[in-house]
């Protein structure tokens, strides 16, 4: 688990936060005791399956809803105050666009609501929508509309940008274009927090991944570390005569997540498959060795199950 030292200048401080909804089936804890510190300039992905609590957590960071318990501060102040000051912007999944306006009219209209804002042309260029500036919103694809929402979010030149599944519903090309745009912008040192279902998206763009499941943080660390855990491989091999302690001995190898024995065959899931393969061949007299990658879905399941 990553532990970031809290300072007055953190981008986001979530301390012991829970959010409970009242549903017809009774109370539901959508967020169930989350502690999370996000430093300025970090690019962080909140990764989790449907219903994990990502949107609820981001809504609280944006001051759209308040925690049932715990506290959230954003850029050293209350979320709503930071949003009102133009220090925080969001790109949400839906809503907020007038279909009959053109792209440029939309950006100009929203710009007029700010006392101070970035240059409209600059924002259009940075969101890569200059070439469609005169197109009506109703004629824009889902990906183009998301880039427009991104342009609007850039207008106040926020310190913190929050994106809730910004590529939901986009095809692979549109998704790649969106993240290319984001990557350029993030290089300017802005803090970016985004929610996604896709490990690949988190992997390609975030420096840090926070995995959530059932309202709790189940893994938190640098992307490379989470990737290594999440994309671990399975090394399987035949053991001539497995000894009683073979499972225990394999489990103590570094990075080993799981060991199973089936007849004379052993399967070891591990982050460092090369090291396991070497140990199996040299120390365990293994033969008929195979290395396979698990699917990302399996990996996510393993991480969420393992940590809960
Ligand atoms: N206003 C609400 N009233 C009742 N239940 C809610 C409300 N908002 C969210 N929930 C429930 O809280 C849980 C967490 O939902 P949330 O939308 O935060 O998850 P998520 O991780 O963002 O999921 P998704 O990826 O599908 O958007 C879900 O079980 C959801 O049904």
- Return d(Cα 5, Cα 20) in angstroms, integer: 28
From ligand 1's centre to the CA of 61, what distance in Å? Answer: 15
> Looking at residues 186-193, what average pLDDT do you find?
84
Answer whether residue 83 is part of any domain: yes
Task: Pick the closest to residue 153 from 201, 208, 203, 83 (CA basis).
Answer: 83
Q: Which residue among 194, 228, 262 closes a domain?
A: 228
- CA 308 to ligand 1 center in whole angstroms: 19
Over residues 198-220, the pLDDT tens digits come to 888 888 889 999 999 899 998 89
Token representation of residue 197: 């279902």
Mean local confidence (pLDDT), 239-247: 81
Give the pLDDT score at 155.
Answer: 92
Distance spanning both ends of the chain, measured CA to CA = 13
Higher-pLDDT residue of 76 and 178 is 76
4, pLDDT greater than 50 = no
Asked which of 191, 206, 228 is the last residue of a domain, the reply is: 228
Mean pLDDT, rounded, for 100-119:
93
Q: What is the mean pLDDT of residues 112-135?
A: 92
Instruction: Say if residue 102 is in the same domain as residue 169.
Output: yes
Is pLDDT at 8 greater than 60 in this prediction? no
Residue 269: predicted pLDDT: 87
* 139 and 283 assigned to the same domain: no
Please, what is the Cα angle at 87 between 84 and 91, to 5 degrees?
90
Q: 35 and 153 share a domain?
A: yes
Is 103 within the bounds of a domain?
yes
Q: Is the pLDDT of residue 92 over 90?
A: no
pLDDT the model gives residue 1: 46
* Residue 7 located in a structural domain: no
The answer to whether the complex's ipTM is over 0.95 is yes
Residue of minimum CA distance from atom 31 in ligand 1: 51
Last-in-domain residue among 228, 250, 283: 228
Between CA 162 and CA 149 the distance in angstroms is 12
Q: Which domain holds residue 268?
A: 231-307
Task: Read off the pLDDT of residues 244-288 as tens digits, 9 standing for 90 and up.
Answer: 788 899 999 988 888 988 888 999 988 788 899 999 999 988 999
Report if residue 28 sits inside a domain. yes
202 and 235 part of one domain: no
What CATH code is carried by the domain that includes residue 281?
3.30.70.100
Whose CA is closest to atom 25 on ligand 1?
Answer: 50
Residue 5 lies in a domain: no
- What the block records as the tokens of 289 is 């060795």
C-alpha to C-alpha distances, 89 to 31, 105, 108, 150, 206, nearest whole angstrom: 22, 19, 17, 9, 18
Q: According to the per-residue pLDDT averaged within each range, which of 29-38, 184-193, 220-229 is highest?
A: 29-38
pLDDT band with cut points at 50, 70 and 90 for residue 299: low
Supply the pLDDT for residue 58: 96
Would 3 be classed as within a structural domain?
Answer: no
The predicted pLDDT at position 176 comes to: 83
Give 160's pLDDT tier (boundaries 50, 70, 90).
very high
pLDDT confidence of residue 100: 94
User: Residue 69: what pLDDT?
Assistant: 97
Mean pLDDT value of segment 130-158: 92
pLDDT at 119: 95
Are residues 54 and 86 part of one domain? yes
pLDDT band for position 308 (50/70/90)? very low
Q: Is residue 171 assigned to a domain?
A: yes
| Residue 114 shares a structural domain with residue 218 | yes
Q: Check whether residue 251 and residue 219 sit in a common domain.
A: no
Q: From the CA of 270, how far away is ligand 1's center (Å)?
A: 33
Residues within a 6 A CB radius of ligand 1: 21, 23, 28, 30, 48, 50-56, 197
Is the pLDDT at 171 greater than 60, yes or no?
A: yes
Report which ligand 1 atom has the smallest distance to the Cα of 46: 21
Whether 213 is in a domain gets the answer yes
Question: Atom 18 (ligand 1): residue with closest C-alpha?
Answer: 53
User: Are 219 and 144 within one domain?
Assistant: yes
User: Percentage of the chain surpassing pLDDT 90?
Assistant: 51
**What is d(CA 116, CA 183) in angstroms, rounded to the nearest whole number?**
24
| Average pLDDT score over residue span 127-153 | 92
The CATH number of whichever domain residue 88 belongs to comes to 3.40.50.300
Model confidence at 36: pLDDT above 90? yes
The pLDDT, as a whole number, for residue 303 is 64
Q: Of 18, 30, 94, which is best to mutate to test ligand 1, by the most ligand atoms within 8 angstroms of its C-beta?
A: 30
Which residues on adjacent β-strands are paired with residue 17?
A: 34
Number of domains in the chain: 2
The reply to whether 44 and 171 lie within a common domain is yes
Mutate to test the pocket of ligand 1, among 17, 27, 46, 55 (most ligand atoms within 8 A of CB): 55
Q: Three-class SS of residue 29?
A: strand
Same domain, 75 and 221: yes
- 218 and 250 in one domain? no
When pLDDT is cut at 50, 70 and 90, the band that residue 16 belongs to is very high
Query: Mean pLDDT across the chain, nearest whole number?
Result: 87
Does 269 share its domain with 254?
A: yes
9 falls in which pLDDT band (50, 70, 90)? confident
């Amino acid at each position: 688990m990553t532990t970031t030292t809290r300072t007055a200048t953190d981008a986001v401080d979530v301390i012991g936060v829970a959010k409970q909804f009242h549903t017809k089936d009774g109370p539901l804890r959508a967020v169930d005791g989350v502690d999370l510190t996000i430093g300025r300039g970090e690019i962080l992905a909140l990764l989790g399956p449907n219903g994990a609590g990502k949107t609820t957590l981001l809504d609280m960071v944006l001051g759209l809803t308040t925690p049932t318990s715990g506290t959230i501060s954003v850029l050293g102040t209350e979320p709503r105050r930071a949003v009102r000051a133009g220090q925080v912007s969001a790109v949400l999944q839906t809503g907020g666009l007038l279909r009959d306006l053109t792209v440029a009219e939309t950006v100009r209209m929203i710009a007029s609501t700010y006392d101070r804002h970035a240059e409209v042309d600059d924002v259009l260029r940075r969101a890569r929508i200059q070439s469609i500036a005169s197109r009506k919103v109703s004629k824009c694809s889902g990906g183009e509309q998301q880039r427009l929402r991104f342009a609007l979010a850039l207008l106040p030149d926020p310190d913190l940008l929050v994106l809730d599944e910004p590529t939901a519903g986009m095809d692979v090309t549109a998704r790649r274009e969106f993240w290319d745009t984001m990557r350029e912008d993030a290089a300017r040192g802005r803090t970016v927090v985004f929610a996604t279902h896709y490990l690949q998206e988190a992997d390609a763009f975030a420096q840090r991944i926070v995995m959530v499941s059932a309202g709790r943080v189940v893994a938190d660390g640098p992307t490379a570390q989470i990737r290594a855990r999440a994309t671990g491989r399975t090394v399987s091999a035949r053991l001539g005569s497995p000894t009683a302690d073979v499972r225990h001995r394999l489990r103590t190898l570094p990075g080993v997540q799981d060991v199973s024995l089936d007849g004379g065959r052993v399967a070891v899931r591990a982050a460092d498959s090369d090291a396991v393969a070497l140990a199996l061949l040299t120390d365990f007299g293994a033969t008929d060795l195979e290395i396979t990658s698990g699917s990302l879905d399996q990996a996510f399941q393993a991480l969420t199950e393992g940590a809960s």
